[in-house]
Amino acid sequence: MTKTLKSAQDFKNLGITSPEITQNIDTVSTKYAVAMTTELADCVKNPSSDDPVLRQFLPLIDELTTLPEEREDPIGDWPNTPVEGIVHRHKDRVLLKIVSICPVYCRFCFRREMVGPDKDNMLRPEQLDAAIDYIANHPEIWEVILTGGDPMMLSPRRARELTQRLEAIPHVKIIRWHTRMPVAKPDIVTAEYAQAIKSSTKSVFVALHANHANEFSNAAKQACANLIDAGIPMVSQSVLLKGVNDNLDALSDLMRTFVENRIRPYYLHHPDFAPGTSHFRVSVEEGQKLVQGLRNTLSGLCTPTYVVDIPGGVSKAIATPSDAREIDGQLSLRGQDGQWRAYPPSEK
């Protein structure tokens, strides 16, 4: 493979033979962005929709079916956006969404209506100035979470400039990068890149998004080592996905692979109600059983927190039976405000 896979022909070249699948790829790509890097394509062991790596990036016709409970902004970014690029949902932290492009386009993406090459690729200079001003003018903001899109789409020069601008805000103590780049395009995450995002006074964390152990090529492991050896701690975030990691063996391998690479398992997300993603969804009850299975069998280092975002931007709920259980025959979640809400909600 020599180039990012985007078209039906590219996926055929990878070895997908099913006409049922290939004839729909170009149709789906008119609605949602498609991209799978060669590095991840090289991690595919079985070129079909059953492969746990390929399934994450292979467009399927199911994506064109939107269920009533699915929504364009499933976790409520828009109502919590005071200025372009900022999401201020929780008092002491903000998301800074500086780019809306990614090296790959995950078929289950919860921001799929907001990311892609056809969107505004990055904040314009005046928008970035306004976003930085917003952070500087809110002394309660302790942590800035860089997300998008994938913030490591920034060149090392821009990544360094952004870090320096945040470095200059005294009340910001933590800068957290959320990225898929170490597994999607590991050659980008060099020791030089790690130096570009280091700050002299803030703690910098990188949260790696990976969903299957097969995503960890040797180059991906080296990319993570480049960050960690530069003094940047890493945590993980994964999505529980049907056909990718919804079994105890796959989840155990994934969590152990994180820890073996010095990445602390952090969040296992229940998939959000993004449009056209129902073929990836498992029930919260299944997720609870799987996480209990991890706890019963693995080192405590390997157990992530299983969370579900309450639609509309309320908060996350910890998806343990104490905060996610059936009430009057309906699954309900308790948010950080202590209120119980039906899941999925009956109203959009």
Cis upstream peptide for 149 (omega within 30°)? yes
Sheet containing 234-239: order of strands = 86-90, 93-97, 143-147, 174-179, 203-209, 234-239, 263-269, 305-309, 316-318
Query: What is the β-pairing status of strands 324-327 and 330-334?
Result: antiparallel
Sheet containing 324-327: order of strands = 324-327, 330-334, 340-342
Q: Does 302 carry a binding-site annotation?
A: no
Among 180, 212, 269, 316, binds ligand SF4 (CB under 6 A): 180
Does 169 interact with ligand SF4 (rule: CB under 6 A)? no
Q: Does 106 carry a binding-site annotation?
A: yes
x/- site string to ligand SF4, residues 191 to 210, per CB under 6 A? ------------------x-
> Of 77 and 323, which has the nearer Cβ to ligand SF4?
77
Q: How many residues sit close enough to ligand SF4 to count as binding (CB under 6 A)?
A: 12
> What SS3 state is found at 31?
coil
For residues 143 and 200, what is the distance between their CA atoms, to the nearest angstrom?
A: 15
Using the rule CB under 6 A, give the single segment among 62-70, 142-150, 156-164, 249-257 that binds ligand SF4.
Answer: 142-150
For residues 68 and 65, what is the distance between their CA atoms, to the nearest angstrom?
A: 10
> Of 150 and 215, which has the nearer Cβ to ligand SF4?
150
- Shortest Cβ 178–ligand SF4 spacing (Å): 8
How large is the C-alpha radius of gyration of the chain? 20
Does 28 interact with ligand SF4 (rule: CB under 6 A)? no
x/- site string to ligand SF4, residues 100 to 119, per CB under 6 A? --x-xxx--x-x---x----
**What is the tally of helices (H) and strands (E) in the chain?**
10, 12
Does 40 interact with ligand SF4 (rule: CB under 6 A)? no
Annotated binding site: 102, 106, 109
Query: What residue ranges bind ligand SF4 (CB under 6 A)?
Result: 102, 104-106, 109, 111, 115, 148-150, 180, 209
